[in-house]
Structure 1
C-alpha cells in the first residue's frame, strides 16, 4: 500500500525564500479576525451593553427637560456623563464605532456563507452511502416487481423533497430553508444597521413646547426649538418650511384618572402659497407635514398672570409650568417680571426691585391645605399657590439658568427675599405689601411636540419583518437527507420474485421528529403514494 504526500515540496537548498509583506499580512489577519463569528458575537454583545445607558439615562433627543432636571439633581455627575456622551448615546462616536465595526463584520461573514449556500442550492443531493444500515434511520421493504426509482422519486417530489435519481438509487434532501433563514436574518440585521445609519446621517429632530395662541406660534427653524439635533448631512436650510399655532387641546380621562385620549388641534401654514388649514393629531396619530412628522408627547397648562407694579404699569406672563410627573398634572414654574418697578420719570429701576413668583399650579385644587398637589388632572377647580419674591433675580449677570426655577443662590445670599404667599383662583387678585397687585387671569393649554424626519424608518420596518421571518426559518427548519436503493429481485430475473428497497435517513442537525417523518416516508413509498394522503398533499 502506497501513500501520497500532499504537503508542498520544500524549496531546494540555497533557494531564496519569498518574503511576506508585513503590512499585507497584518491587514489580512485583521480582516480575518474582524469577520470571524467570534468577533461578530463580541461586537453584538458590546452593542447591547452600549445601549443600556441610552435606556437608563434621559436622552436629549427624546426628553430634553428630563436631561435638564438630571443636571439639577446631579450637578457633579451630570457634566462628566455629558463629556462621555451619555445623554446622546445613540449619536455618540463610540456607539457609532461599535455598530460600524459590527456592520463590517457581518458583511464579511455573510458574503462567503451566501456564496457557499448558492453553490449548495445548485448542487444535486449526494449519492447514497454504501452501507445504508449504518445510518441513524434504516428500513428494508418489499416493493412490487414493477417498482422503480422513478416511482419512488415521484413520491418524494410530491412531498417537496429535492430528488436526484442515479441508476437504481434515489437521493433526496430537504431543509435548505434553515440556512436561507439564517442568511436572511443576518442580511436583515445589516439592513437594520444601515437604516439606523441612514437615519443618523440624514435625519433630524427637534422638541418644542407649544403654548396656545397666535402670539406663541412656532415656525420650523432651528432657533425656535428648545432642543434640536441635525444629522451630519443636514443643514438648517434643509428643514421644511411651515408654522404651527396651537388652537385647542382635548384630554379625556377614565374614572381612575388615567388618560384615555389626548388630541391637539393646530393651524398649519406651509409658507408656500398653499391655504392655511386646521389639523388634528394625537399620541398615536402623528401629524405628517411633507417629510416631517409631528408627534404629541405631553401636555400641560400655562397660567396667565398679570402683574401691576407700584407705578401702575402692567405686565402679563403666560410662561408654561412643568408637570412634576404625577398623574394629576400638578405643575411647578416661575413667573418673573425683571422689568417691573421702573420709575417712569427717571426710566431707572433699583436693582433690588425685580419681582418673581414661584408657584404650584393645580388643575383641581384640594378643598383644604396643604396646597401642593392636584386631586384630578382636569381643570375642575383650578388654583395656583404662589410665593412672591422681590430683589435681584440675577438675570443681569449673564449666567445661564433655568426659566422654570429661581436662582437658589440669590435666595441663599439674601439678594432675593420672600415677601408673601397666597392661593389664587381664576379672576382673583393679590395685593402685595408695596401696593402692587397680581391677578390670576386664567390658563392656556400647551403641548410638548417632537418634529422628526427619519429617512430610515421604512427600511427598518422591512428589515425587522424579514429578520423575524429569517429567524423563524432558521429555528424551525431542519436539514435532512434520505436515500432509497432498489435491489433486483432474488434470482436476478424480473419474474423470480419481488424487488427489495433499502432506505436510509440522516438528519444534518438535531431533529427529534425525524424518526416519525422517515417512517411516514417509507410507508408512502411502500404504498407507492396511492393510499397516503400526506404523500399527495406534501408537508415540510
Structure 2
C-alpha cells in the first residue's frame, strides 16, 4: 500500500509533470521530422521508395503515425493524470487561503524583512486604512488597547498558476476530443468537373476516423476543383496559391480558398496542403482506340517542382472484334517518368529550373505487360509495381523519350502517345475537429493565467496602532512587511506605504 502511495505522490509531483511535458515534446519530434499518414500520405509513399529498408521498421514503430501511437498516447495520458493530481490539492489549498482571514499581527514586527519603527501620527487607526486600499484587511482590537491591521494581497500569482495548469489540462482534453470524435481525410483532385468527388470513404484517398466516428457521420457534399492558380517570384519562391471549389449536395456554394484560408463547410474544413501538375496524355493503341489520362505527377522535394509519376492504360490493346472478357494483361501499357515544368536549356533533363510552366517537358519510359492492378493487393497508383518488374511480368520496351507539349511518340507496335497538355491538381486535407473550440478557449485561459502569474506578487502588511502616551491626540504606528514570494520591488512598495502614512499626518 505504501508503495502505491509513494508512486502516486511521485506521479502527481510538479517535477514529474514537467518531465512528462518535456518528454511529450521530445516524442512529438518524429511527427515533425517524418512524413505522417494523416498529413500527406504521398510523402510516406515517397519515403518508402527512398528508404526501402528503414521505412518498414519505422512503420512498425508508428513513425508515420506518431500522434496515434501507443507510446505517445501513454505519455499523453500520464501527463494528464499528473497535472490533475498536481492541481486538485493546490486548488483546495488556494481556496482555503483566499477564504481564510489574514493572520494575526506578529508580536515582534522588527523581525520581519521590512520594518518601520513607531511613527507618531495624528488621528485614529482609521488613518492607515486608505493607504491599504485594494488589500484584504482585518482590523482587530487587542486587550492592551492597541489596534492591529493585517493586510494581504497578491493572490493573483497562485490563481494564475492554477488557471495556467488547468488550461493545460483543457488543451489535452481538446486534443483528445478531436482525436476521438474527429476525422481527417486526404484527396488529390485534378481541376475539372470530371474529377469531382464526394465525401465518402470510398472516394477519399485516405480516411482516418476517430474512435467515436462512423462513415454515416460524414457531412454529405461533393467537391469540384474548378480552378487552381499558383504564382511565383523570379527566384522560384512561391508567392500565392489559390483554388476555387464548387460544392454541391446538401451544401451549395462556390468559393475561393488558399493555404491559410480553408474552405469552411458545415461539419468539415477543406485545407489546401499541396499542388502539382497532371500531364494530359492520349494513348492510341494498335487497334486505333484512344484513351486519355490526366494522372497527377507528384512533386519531388526541389524548388523547381520536378514531378514524377506514371500514366497507366490497363484497357489498351483489346481487340474490338473479340467478344467477352478478352483483355490480355500482358498487353497492358504504362508510361513512367518525370515532368519538368521548366526544363533546362540543355541536357541533362533531370530537374526543373522553375516551378511554373515555361518550358514543359516529359521524360518517359514505356512499359508493357501485366500492371498487377487486378491482383487485389493494395498498391500506389503513382508508381509502377516493382514486384511485377522484378518477376519479368512488366518490362520496359525500348529507350526513353523526351516529349514537349504537343509532340507525339510512335511506339514499336504502331501505337502512339501524345502529350496534349497539363492540368493543375491540388492536395486537399478534409478535417473535422470538435476539440478545436476547447483548445482555443483553453489557450486563451492559458495565456491569461500566465499573465496573472507574472503580475501577481503575494505579500503582507502588518500595522499596530497604539495611543501615544505623551500626546493623547496622537497615535504611534508600527509597520512590518512580509513578501510571500520573490518580489524585488517589495521594499519600494513598503517604503511608499510608510511615506504615505506620514504625508497623510502632515496634511
State the TM-score bracket (shorter-chain normalisation).
over 0.9
The 8 Å contact of residues 141 and 526 in structure 1, kept in 2 or not, is answered as no
Matches within 5 A, 1:186-225: 186-225=165-204
Indicate the residue corresponding to 2:136 in structure 1.
Answer: 162
List per-residue Cα deviations over 1:196-225 (Å, max 9, x = no partner): 111111100100001112221110001111
CA contact (8 A) 2:121 2:505 kept: no
Superposition deviation, residue 161 in structure 1: 1.8
After superposition, give the CA deviation of every residue in 1:183-205 in whole Å (9 maximum; x if it has no partner). 10111011111101111111001
CA distance in 2 between counterparts of 1:79 and 1:408 reads 16
Alignment of 1:405 onto 2:379? no
Trace 1:450-465 onto structure 2 (pairs within 5 A). Answer: 450-465=429-444
Shift of 1:339: 2.6
Q: 1:300 aligns with which of 253, 276, 280?
A: 276
Conserved? CA contact 1:140–1:500, under 8 Å: no
How far the C-alpha of 1:304 sits from its partner, in A, is 0.6
* 1:312/1:102 CA distance change after superposition, 3 Å: same
- TM-score of the superposition, structure 2-length normalised? 0.92
Per-residue displacement from partner, 1:49-105 (whole Å, max 9, x unpaired)? 322222222211111111122222233332232223222221223322332232223
Paired residue for 2:68? 91
> Are 2:486 and 1:507 equivalent residues in the alignment?
no
The answer on 1:354 being equivalent to 2:332 is: yes
Residue 307 of structure 2 corresponds to residue 328 of structure 1: no
- Using the size of structure 1 for normalisation, the TM-score is 0.87
Can you list the C-alpha shifts for 1:282-331, whole angstroms capped at 9, x where unaligned? 11111111021000111111101011112212111111100012222221
Provide the aligned C-alpha RMSD in A.
2.3
Instruction: Give structure 1 stretches of 5+ with no counterpart.
Output: 1-21, 532-540
* 1:371 positional shift: 1.7
Q: How does 1:481-492 map to 2 (within 5 A)?
A: 481-491=460-470
Deviations 1:342-375 (A, max 9, x none): 3334464655433221121122222222222222
- Correspondence 1:41 to 2:15: no
Q: Cα–Cα, structure 1 residues 116 and 351, in superposed 2: closer, same or farther, change >3 Å?
A: closer
Counterparts of 2:253 and 2:125 in 1: how far apart (Å)? 74
**1:101 and 2:78 are equivalent in the alignment:** yes
Matched, 1:228 2:207: yes
Q: How many residue pairs get matched?
A: 499
Query: 1:256–1:392: structure 2 CA closer, same or farther, 3 Å change rule?
Result: same
Mapped to 2, the partners of 1:346 and 1:204 lie a distance apart of 47
Q: SS at the partner of 2:504?
A: coil
- More deviation in 199-208 or 69-78? 69-78
Contact 1:61/1:88 (8 A) holds in 2: yes
Partner Cα separation in structure 2 for residue 394 and residue 197 of structure 1? 40
* Residue of structure 2 aligned with 1:130, choices 107, 114, 118: 107
Partner of 1:11: none
Partner of 2:397: 418
Q: Distance in 2 between matches of 1:421 and 1:236?
A: 45
Q: Where does residue 367 of structure 2 map in the other structure?
A: 389
| Shift, 1:418, TM fit | 3.3
Partner secondary structure for residue 40 of structure 1 = helix
**Residue 523 in structure 1 maps to residue 503 in structure 2:** no
Runs of 4+ in 1 over 6 A off after TM superposition: none
Q: Distance in 2 between matches of 1:529 and 1:103?
A: 56
User: Contact 2:122/2:505 (CA < 8 Å) preserved in 1?
Assistant: no
Equivalents in 2 of 1:183, 1:246: separation in Å? 48
- Is residue 48 of structure 2 the alignment partner of residue 74 of structure 1? no
1:420 and 1:432 in contact (8 A); partners too:
no
Which residue, out of 103, 106, 113, partners 2:90? 113
The CA distance in 1 between the partners of 2:118 and 2:233, in whole Å, is 71
Match of 1:372 among 326, 346, 350: 350
SS of residue paired to 1:103: helix
